Structure 1
Amino acid sequence: MSRRNLTRELAELRQLLLSMSDIVKEQFGDAVEALLTGNMELAEAVIERDNEVDRLELDIDEQCERILALYQPVAVDLRFLIVVVKINTDLERMGDHCRNLARNVKHVRDAPLVMEHTTLPELAKACGNILSEAQRSFLERDHTLAQEVPTFDDRVNELHRQNFNRLVAFCKEHPEHAEPAAHLITASKAIERIGDHAKSIAKCVVFLIEGEDLRHASMQEQDASGDGAS
């Protein structure tokens, strides 16, 4: 198999992954809009579209397996395939969280008072920013941006904590609204997890460009420190 064929197939694989990323990004935007506006039609569309994400996940995995079998890639090409597999998994899980977001709509659309006690609009905006920047870092192979993206996650985590604390306090004062409040806590957690997966994608981009695995950097530093002391 020629180098030209391998290059072409890797380019096609990259495009598949970008298409999947675009769909997940659209899913997220639609799921958030459905949640904030109570749009059940949009929520159902998000749930249904999850099948499209699942099909793409399988297609990408099969393409990776095919390339490995036919070309036995090494060095940078092998690293690219490893990254594609990891990002593919992150995107599929993000799609699942978008679906779960949409499933909460029917439980909260008639409880606007509860929604007013959350930071969900701010949380969704912060998470959407991480998702966009992670996608851009992969598209442009931007090492600097990829390293910055994980730092944005602190804001997402803080907003999720605020949501949790506010909704728990609200439930204590208004136990009659406990059910929609519980669903909004679930929705907030789903958005926070989407931010985590976007952060993971950015770390994969760093690995792709530099060969440096940032996923468990603190553990690696501890191991290195321990080795040095022994």
Structure 2
Amino acid sequence: MIRDKSSKTKAKPARGVIAVTPPSFRRERALIKRGVWPVAGCDEAGRGPLAGPVVAAAVVLDPKRIPKGIDDSKRLTAERREELFEEICATASFAVAFASPARIDRDNILRASLWALTRAVQALPENPRHVFVDGRDRIDVACDCDAVIGGDGIVMSIAAASIIAKVTRDRLMCALALDCPGYGFETHKGYAVPEHREALDRLGPSVHHRRFFAPVVAAREKHQPETVVIERDLFTVETQIVTEIPATI
């Protein structure tokens, strides 16, 4: 008798295809078993754009009502993000905080992002006893905090926060597009795509642009030269933009 060995052979993944494991609730569940609850995940959206705020979100998922399909927001279509946004809002505790372009200009993008993440956690309906945050940096909260690099693709609560932050920011940028037409905020959401750079060069910066991001500085020099001053650095022979002209001058 000849046996068909093919039935026992495991299927091999196609070449060039990378298997992606979805985020899990494993870390949160381990804390729950130790009596640690609530457990929050937090993430932000909008570090890279030239315009608009950074939006941070903190989420505490209900272990008994976790929506199916939660994943890193970057892996989801816009339509699926919207669906999961509504499901997360209906089943979880969450809070959102914003770091405005003015705060980004004052503090720098990293500090502004960490500030917004902290504010989001502090705004939760119930203070968490543990926080997972996406990235390398922990935030200043009154409980234990773990920073997880690539956390939006690993920790379920962080993935949920990434969806809340992304959808909230996308909706906000569509609203800003109505306030400042011509830049295309409704399509690129403020990111430095060629269409946005062209509009910035043509129209100059809007009130929603981050003043000290390089392409915005170049547009200010072209359209609003009176708002910048060139000074010589004491340590080099190069010139660079170092400050704004005080209003009293």
Q: Same fold (TM over 0.5)?
A: no
The structure with more radius of gyration: 2
TM-score (norm 2): 0.27
TM-score (norm 1): 0.29
Q: Which has the higher strand share?
A: 2
Q: Which has the higher helix share?
A: 1
